[in-house]
Amino acid sequence: MDSSIENKIFFFGFGYTAKYLYEIMKPNGWLGSASIRSRKNKTLREDKIEYFDFFEEQGKIEEQILSSKAVLISIPPSGKCDPVLEKYGEVFKEAGNLGWVGYLSSTSVYGNFNGKWVSEDTNPLPTTTLGQNRLFAERKWEKVADRYNLPIIRFRISGIYGPDRNPLERIKKRTQRIILKENQIFNRVHIDDLCKILYRSINSPRLGRVYNIADNEPSTSEEFISEAARLLSYSEPERVNISDANLSEMALSFYADSKRVSNKKIVKDLGYTFKYPSFKEGLKSLV
């Protein structure tokens, strides 16, 4: 990274992952700014981060990109359109200062492998609209990386859990269910591990890489929720067959694919050891 550029990061979208990552970066001297949908929804500054309206302050956001060392893109595609590339794609050809651009994608790009293992070498065959749109956006960013010689790294992230994003409160309120579907495997990662991996990548960028981010132990949702109930000393939630669960179309899409996602590449490349190698350690920390 260009040592003449300040330790600044710009966040396209400032949701759960971006906020957690910035909490890790701030003590190490990083300054952050972020796009938001509207200034009406946020104060101008919150905990040392400056916000800019994605739609109304294009010039200011471009200035932030050109003066930053890193950019994180967590805004999802809108159909076949990537909002960031649509509005800000041109500025990246001038952003030679950038040492790292992270694009947050999803393991949904792989599609269904009936519980078998997938890696970054697996040919993606997305079965859901979400996965198809993610893969389409990934490939657009890959072309930008090649065209402008930028260190754009694509992260295919599994289900994120952590503080305020877990089944513990629902179990306490007796609103959590266990949805049963034969041979349905999920992959997860604790937010702490996810953000530490992202930060390590920022400090050791590798051109043109794509990485899976998942912990070491894929599991069923039954195993995950049952362990959460056990840790709370609560009875296990009601089990419901997926055909009787009356799930929304969005919820059903999470059960469309079954696969085990390998994290071996990122562990090897970044030398990372998971703090929470499985959901058991992760849930215990949340209790």
Q: Is residue 241 part of a domain?
A: no
Please state the domain count of the chain: 1
Please state, in angstroms and as integers, the Cα–Cα distance from residue 4 to each residue in 61, 201, 204, following that order. Answer: 20, 20, 18
Q: Is residue 177 part of a domain?
A: no
Helical spans, DSSP H, in the chain: 16-25, 58-66, 83-88, 129-148, 168-172, 191-203, 221-232, 249-253, 264-270, 279-286
Q: What's the average model confidence in pLDDT over 253-267? A: 95
Q: Is 197 exposed, middle or buried (0-12, 13-18, 19+ CB in 10 A)?
A: buried
The answer to whether 72 and 102 have CB atoms below 8 angstroms apart is yes
Dihedral sign for Cα 70, 79, 50, 21, please.
negative
Q: Give me the residue label for tokens 């599991």.
A: 219
User: In which domain, by residue range, is 41 found?
Assistant: 8-161+188-215+261-274
Confidence label for 4 from pLDDT (cuts 50, 70 and 90): very low
Q: Is residue 129 part of a domain?
A: yes
The answer to whether 212 and 197 have CB atoms below 8 angstroms apart is no
Q: Is residue 222 part of a domain?
A: no
The CATH number linked to 99 is: 3.40.50.720
Q: Is residue 121 part of a domain?
A: yes
**pLDDT above 90 for 251:** no
Q: Is residue 236 part of a domain?
A: no
Please tell me the predicted confidence (pLDDT) of residue 137. Answer: 97
Q: Is residue 34 part of a domain?
A: yes
Higher-confidence residue: 168 or 254? 168
What does the alpha-carbon distance between residue 74 and residue 52 come to, in Å, rounded to a whole number? 15
Q: Is residue 232 part of a domain?
A: no
Percent of all residues in the chain with a pLDDT value above 70, rounded to a whole number: 95
Q: What is the 3-state secondary structure (H, E, C) of 46-70?
A: CCCEEEEECCCCHHHHHHHHHCCCE
- Of 61, 56, 31, 30, nearest in space to 41 by CA: 56
**pLDDT above 60 for 2:** no
SS3 117: strand
The answer to whether 150 and 98 have CB atoms below 8 angstroms apart is yes
Q: Which residues contact 262 (CB under 8 A, 6 or more apart)?
A: 117, 118, 119, 212, 214
Tens digit of pLDDT for each residue in 7-24? 999 999 999 999 999 999
- Count Cβ neighbours within 10 Å for each residue of 78-110 and write b for 16 or more, e otherwise: eeeebbbbebbeebbeebeebbbbbbbbbbbbb
What does the alpha-carbon distance between residue 256 and residue 132 come to, in Å, rounded to a whole number? 13
Confidence label for 39 from pLDDT (cuts 50, 70 and 90): low
Tens digit of pLDDT for each residue in 113-167? 999 999 999 999 999 999 999 999 999 999 999 999 999 999 999 999 999 999 9
Number of other CB atoms surrounding residue 16 within 10 Å: 16
- Bridge partners, 180 (sequence order): 241
